[in-house]
A and B are shown apart, each in its own frame.
Chain A
Amino acid sequence: MRIFNRIVVVLLLVGLIVLGAYTVVYSFELFGRRLSDLSAVLNGFASGTESFVGDVENGSLPILTIALLVAIALLGLVLLLMELKPPRPRRVRMQSGTYVTPDVVRDEVSSAAEEIPSVLGSSTKVQAKRRPGAKVNLQADVRRGEDTNTIKSDLRERVQQHLARTGVPLSKLKLKLVEADPRQTKTRVQ
């Protein structure tokens, strides 16, 4: 379920719970509440709404209320756009009629990255894009004090070459090098 649907359902369920609780309280006259008092509550609500609508019509709303209404409208717009946006594909499109799962791309990127001796371990995130190709975020563990610029360019070249060999199109490659203790990385160093 997408975020917009989730928010709508949560609000609906909260409303139903509150309404149910009020019904029980007023029906069984709990906490000194009686059904006859309900008309006063509803009248209060109606007069509050009436005065709010009156203020809107007169253009005399407080700045804070205007800001709140604008924020709600913007939030609604953002949620609507998110809902209208087509979902991201689950498979990486290579060319017409050929797909690979993100797991395959992840494994290939990891194996290419870990071929470099300075890389002690890696973690890869792959996102399929609507157009052919995958967005890859690669985090590689290196020893402290290594020349990160050289490793980064080696890594980029190696991954790009490897994916080109396997035929997986790469739409974006984001690299991050993390200095790590070699005793705690995947490739352990004594």
Chain B
Amino acid sequence: MADGILDLARAASEAALATEGVYSLGTGRYAEAATYEGSEKVSGVVVTSDEVEIHIVASYPLTRPIPELAQLIRERVAPEAGSRRTSVVVEDIEVAHEDL
């Protein structure tokens, strides 16, 4: 399990980005989605004392329904999040450009 909130945010961010079907991390629609500590920040993940909120942009076409994708991310983040609740916010769906 990650020690500080920034470490947790980084670990959650990496876990989310490694999930198939995640195009990128979102930046927040109504307010910036990021975790700050000192002079550093991790965008796309908001870590509070009782919750880890992960903002993602899903790849189009969707490889699986959004709830399944969210569940997959939650499972990957769970070991890092510990007792914190994990929420997934899908901010957008973006066409994935494959390398030619």
Which of B66, B68, B71, B74 contacts A100, CB < 8 Å? B66
Contact B62 A98 (CB under 8 A): no
Q: Which residues from chain B contact A95 at a C-beta distance below 8 Å?
A: 67, 70
Contacts of B86 in A (CB 8 A): 97
B20 is an interface residue with CB less than 8 A from chain A: no
Cβ-neighbour of A101 out of B62, B67, B68, B91 (below 8 A) = B91
* CB of B5 closer than 8 Å to a CB of A: no
Contact B88–A97 (Cβ < 8 Å): yes
Q: Which residues of B contact A156 (CB under 8 A)?
A: none
B85 contacts A by Cβ under 8 Å: yes
Are A167 and B85 in contact (CB-based, < 8 A)?
no
A104 touches B67 (CB 8 A): no
Beta-carbon contact of B66 and A91 below 8 Å: no
- The size of the chain B interface, using a CB distance under 8 A, is 19
Q: Are B93 and A108 interface neighbours, CB within 8 A?
A: yes
Q: Which residues of chain B have C-beta atoms less than 8 A from A58's C-beta?
A: none
Least CB separation from B86: chain A residue: A97
Q: Which of B30, B70, B88 has the most CB of A within 10 A?
A: B70
Binary contact readout B17-43 vs A (1 if CB under 8 angstroms, 0 otherwise): 000000000000110000000000000
Contacts A90-B30, A94-B66, A94-B70; A99 near B92 (Cβ below 8 A): no
| Residues on the B chain within 8 Å of A85, using CB | none
Of A97, A100, A104, A166, chain B has the most CB atoms within 10 Å of the CB of A97
The yes or no answer to A107 lying at the interface (CB within 8 A) is yes
The reply on B65 being an interface residue by CB < 8 A is yes
Question: Counting CB contacts under 8 A, is B89 at the interface?
Answer: yes
Are A103 and B88 neighbours in the complex by a CB distance under 8 Å? Answer: no
Contacts known (A94-B70, A98-B70); A166 close to B65, Cβ less than 8 A: yes
Check A99/B90 contact, CB under 8 A, given A90-B30, A166-B62.
yes
Is A97's CB under 8 angstroms from B70's CB?
yes
> Given A103-B92, A104-B92, A97 and B85 touching (CB < 8 A)?
yes
CB of A168 closer than 8 Å to a CB of B: yes
What residues of A have a CB within 8 angstroms of the CB of B59 in the complex?
Answer: none
Contact check: which of A97, A107, A167 meets B74 at CB < 8 Å? Answer: A97
Residues on A with C-beta less than 8 A from B89 are 91, 99-101
Q: Which of A91, A101, A165, A168: most chain B CB closer than 10 A? A: A101
Given A94-B66, A95-B67, A97-B70, does the pair A104, B90 have CB atoms closer than 8 Å?
A: yes
User: How many Å from the CB of A118 to the closest CB on chain B?
Assistant: 24
Highest count of chain A CB atoms <10 Å: which of B67, B71, B85, B86? B67
B91 to chain A, nearest CB (A): 5
Binding site for B on A (CB under 8 A): 90-91, 94-95, 97-101, 103-104, 107-108, 165-168
